[in-house]
Amino acid sequence: MLILVANLGSTSFKYKLLDMSGDFESANASPDSRVLARGAVDRIGEPISQCEVIVTQSHQGETFREETQMPVPDHGVAVQACLDQLTHPENGCLTEANEVAAIGFKAVHGGRKSGTFVVDDEVLEAMDEMSAAAPAHNPPYIAAMKLLRQRFPELPLVAAFETEFHDTISPERRTYAIPAEWTREMQIQKWGFHGSSHRFIAERAAEVLGRDDAKIISCHLGGSSSLTAIDSGKSIMTTMGMTPQTGVPQNNRVGDFDAFAIPLIMERTSQSLEEVLKTLASQGGLKGLSGGMADLRDIESAASEGNADAKLALGVYTEEIRRHLGGMMVALGRLDAIVFTGGIGENSDVVRAAVCAGLEGFGIELDASKNDGMRGEGSLHTESSKTQILVLPTNEEWIVAKRSLRALAAQ
Instruction: List the chain pLDDT tens, one digit each, 411 residues.
Output: 899 999 887 788 899 999 998 776 654 557 878 899 999 999 998 999 999 999 998 999 999 999 999 999 988 888 888 988 999 999 999 998 889 999 999 999 999 999 999 999 999 999 999 999 998 889 989 988 998 899 889 999 999 999 999 999 999 999 999 999 999 999 999 999 999 999 999 999 999 999 999 999 999 999 999 999 999 999 999 999 999 999 999 999 999 999 999 999 999 999 999 999 999 999 999 999 999 999 999 999 999 999 999 999 999 999 999 999 999 999 999 999 999 999 999 999 999 999 999 999 999 999 999 999 899 999 999 999 999 999 999 999 999 999 999 999 998
299 marked as part of a ligand binding site = no
Q: Do 236 and 372 have their domain in common?
A: yes
* 191 within domain boundaries: no
* 179 within domain boundaries: no
371 marked as part of a ligand binding site = no
* 284 within domain boundaries: yes
346 marked as part of a ligand binding site = yes
Domain count for the chain: 2
322 marked as part of a ligand binding site = no
61 marked as part of a ligand binding site = no
* Residue 32, pLDDT score: 78
14 marked as part of a ligand binding site = yes
The structure's pTM equals 0.93
In this structure, the chain runs to a length of 411
296 marked as part of a ligand binding site = yes
* 16 within domain boundaries: yes
396 marked as part of a ligand binding site = yes
DSSP state letters, 181-224 = HHHHHH--S-----HHHHHHHHHHHHHHHT-SS-EEEEEE-SSS
* 167 within domain boundaries: no
Which neighbouring-strand residues pair with 227? 219
Q: Do 142 and 248 have their domain in common?
A: no
Q: Do 353 and 238 have their domain in common?
A: yes
* Residue 347, pLDDT score: 96
247 marked as part of a ligand binding site = no
7 marked as part of a ligand binding site = yes
* Residue 27, pLDDT score: 47
Query: What is the domain extent for residue 100?
Result: 2-161
Q: Do 269 and 382 have their domain in common?
A: yes
CB 124 within 8 A of CB 142: yes
* Residue 31, pLDDT score: 80
Residue spans of beta strands (DSSP E) within 119-243: 157-160, 215-220, 226-231, 234-238
203 marked as part of a ligand binding site = no
CATH number, domain of 263, equals 3.30.420.40
